[in-house]
Amino acid sequence: MASETLTIIDNRTGKQYEIPIKNGAVKATDLFQIKVTEDDGIVSYDPGFMNTASCQSRITYVDGDKGMLRYRGYPIEQIAEKSTYLETAYLILYGELPTKPQLAEWTHNVTYHSIIHENIKKLIDGFHHDAHPMGILVSTVGALSTFYPEAKKIFDVKARRDQTYRLISKMPTLSAFAYRHSLGLPFSYPDNDLSYTGNFLNMLFKMTELKYQPHPVLERALDILFILHADHEQNCSTNAMRSVGSSQVDPYSAVAAAAAALYGPLHGGANEAVLRMLMEIGSKGKVSEFIKKVKGGEGRLMGFGHRVYKNYDPRAKIIKEVADQVFEVTGRNPLLDIALELERIALEDEYFIRRKLYPNVDFYSGLIYQSMGLPMDMFPVLFAIPRTSGWIAQWEEMLLDPDQKLARPKQVYLGAGTREYVPMDKRK
Ligand code: ACO
């Protein structure tokens, strides 16, 4: 049998090294023994982690070439069809589908932590009326750490479980309150009779009616969207969660960091950017002209391309079906025709084919959210709520992994060598 090692010859010294390969990976620290002098061991240089595994994980599997996504081994297509968001969150967090009593207990615990301290409401009141809800969410979820100081006990199983219930439960409340604040509407409190997504719709949209009744098609559509966004292995925000969490800070602070990472247009802000792009294009007839500009280097086709998927994102396929169901209730989103035309042209175009650029999860999700009456500012928030289960699962896996350490990358220093301090009057 071939040996599971890699042989490296350093042509600077002629020395040969044999490095073990385990699970398809070599340890970057094994490269450090390759040196010319005592202290110049080789490091691997990988901005953006293009080919660096930062951890071993058992949560989510993505095969980007095949367009495949699995949570704990279960294909996303089966989960989206048969499961609910809360059951999926349980699966992601605890590794197995829950039994009936486990699901009942889990649902009860998540449901009964949804109210937030009234002082958080005062904090929200301090924001400008036009404050971006993602900015409010990042701040308020971080602020929760001050309300639950026991969250610092990150190696205590019970404390971790309590913060897990609270985080998954309170993210929709914080998000809905941020939304209501932007409209100057009174906050709508959680209704424990409703499902996770039904209650979220209640907190967003309840007006003067005594009891809010979510539309079952929209409630289920949102639940499927939440399932699709629950985890996606080592994406930018999850990496932020793990990296910040590696300092052993409490999970509220780490979730605030992860949510901040999700705010950026290359990650969770992409579906907002997709809608802005569709509105800017304006009509189906202008799509070719827009594609020409993108190919000429003027901007990107938002909602297309992915660091991992070099095939159709499986989540985008499911979302396209959900979109049809939602539009039957809300009426067809007029921007859909532009999106379909963009997809049609891009999938036939040499530029996109060669670079393996396909629609990603964000290409159609914004159209659905908009049709449900949600403003674009809320889109990254709608991503952060379900991703919280993935962030916590990945954070916990990191904490319990004996291989993990404080995340602290190396650098390749290219700056000035030692020089003498220059007094102000001698500087040019
Ligand atoms: N439109 C046009 N060209 C693109 C696009 C795009 N959306 N995405 C990548 N390219 C081109 C790049 O210009 C580059 O071309 P070149 O080789 O001629 O220079 C090539 O494809 C490779 O692009 P990179 O930026 O190196 O690929 P990377 O893996 O770093 O980018 C990313 C991935 C950031 C998602 C990128 O595809 C992108 O910007 N897409 C648009 C934003 C978006 O939809 N983000 C959501 C991602 S999904 C998520 O976060 C949930």
Dump the DSSP string for 37-67. Answer: STT-------GGGTT------SSEEEETTTT
User: Whose alpha carbon is nearest atom 29 of ligand 1?
Assistant: 307
Residue 256 has pLDDT above 90, yes or no: yes
CA of 335 to the centre of ligand 1 (A): 22
Residues 321, 221: Cα–Cα separation, whole Å = 10
Residue 251 has pLDDT above 90, yes or no: yes
The pLDDT, as a whole number, for residue 265 is: 82
Question: What stretches of 155-269 show up as alpha helix (H) in DSSP?
Answer: 157-183, 196-205, 216-228, 236-245, 251-262
Strand 15-20 and strand 74-75: the pairing is unpaired
Q: Which residues pair with 7 in a beta bridge?
A: 18
From the list 223, 231, 250, 362, the catalytic residue is 362
Torsion sign, CA atoms 270, 69, 64, 49 = positive
Residues 125, 129: Cα–Cα separation, whole Å = 9
The pLDDT, as a whole number, for residue 85 is: 98
The pLDDT, as a whole number, for residue 245 is: 98
What percent of the chain clears pLDDT 70, i.e. is strictly above it? 100
- In the chain, the N- to C-terminal Cα span, in Å, equals 66
CA of 56 to the centre of ligand 1 (A): 26
Could you give the C-alpha distances from 339 to 54, 150, 279, 280, 296, in angstroms and in order?
35, 48, 10, 12, 20
Give mean pLDDT, residues 138-148. 98
Asked if residue 138 lies in contact with residue 269, where contact means CB atoms within 8 angstroms, the answer is no
Residue 49 has pLDDT above 70, yes or no: yes
Give per-residue pLDDT as tens, 39-48. Answer: 889 999 999 9
Torsion sign, CA atoms 142, 144, 149, 153 = negative
Residue 1 has pLDDT above 70, yes or no: no
Asked if residue 418 lies in contact with residue 259, where contact means CB atoms within 8 angstroms, the answer is no
Residue type, 149: P
Give mean pLDDT, residues 59-72. 95
Q: Is 295 helix (H, G, I), strand (E, B) or coil?
A: helix
Give the angle subtended at the CA of 62 by the CAs of 324 and 389, to the nearest 5°.
Answer: 75
Best substitution site from 62, 233, 355 to test ligand 1's pocket, by max atoms within 8 Å of Cβ? 355
User: Whose alpha carbon is nearest atom 25 of ligand 1?
Assistant: 307
Catalytic-residue membership of 63: no
Give per-residue pLDDT as tens, 378-427. Answer: 999 999 999 999 999 999 999 999 999 999 999 999 999 999 999 999 99
Residue 107 has pLDDT above 70, yes or no: yes
Residues 167, 170: Cα–Cα separation, whole Å = 5
Give mean pLDDT, residues 108-118. 95
Question: What stretches of 270-313 show up as alpha helix (H) in DSSP?
Answer: 270-281, 287-295
Catalytic-residue membership of 267: yes
State the residue for tokens 């247009």: 265
69 lines ligand 1 (CB under 6 A): no
Give the relative orientation of helices 362-371 and 270-281 as an angle to the nearest 10 degrees: 80
The pLDDT, as a whole number, for residue 22 is: 96
- Entry pTM: 0.93
Asked if residue 177 lies in contact with residue 121, where contact means CB atoms within 8 angstroms, the answer is yes
- Residue 179's nearest CA partner among 376, 362, 329, 391 is 376
The pLDDT, as a whole number, for residue 41 is: 93
Give mean pLDDT, residues 55-75. 96
CA dihedral of 385, 390, 396, 402, whole degrees rounded to 10: -150
Atom of ligand 1 nearest to the CA of 48: 30
Residue type, 252: Y
Tokens of 347: 């999938």
303 lines ligand 1 (CB under 6 A): yes
Residue 19 has pLDDT above 80, yes or no: yes
Give mean pLDDT, residues 220-228. 97
277 lines ligand 1 (CB under 6 A): no
Atom of ligand 1 nearest to the CA of 305: 37
Asked if residue 252 lies in contact with residue 142, where contact means CB atoms within 8 angstroms, the answer is yes
Give per-residue pLDDT as tens, 307-339. Answer: 889 988 999 999 999 999 999 999 988 899 999
From the list 113, 229, 232, 306, the catalytic residue is 306
What percent of the chain clears pLDDT 90, i.e. is strictly above it? 91
Residues 7, 278: Cα–Cα separation, whole Å = 51
Average pLDDT value for the chain: 95
Residues 195, 133: Cα–Cα separation, whole Å = 23
Tokens of 90: 């349980």
Residue type, 235: N
User: Whose alpha carbon is nearest atom 45 of ligand 1?
Assistant: 266
Catalytic-residue membership of 306: yes
Best substitution site from 51, 266, 347, 363 to test ligand 1's pocket, by max atoms within 8 Å of Cβ? 266
Instruction: Read off the pLDDT band of 20 (50, 70, 90).
Output: very high
Instruction: Read off the pLDDT band of 261 (50, 70, 90).
Output: very high
- Residue 281's nearest CA partner among 296, 294, 297, 264 is 294
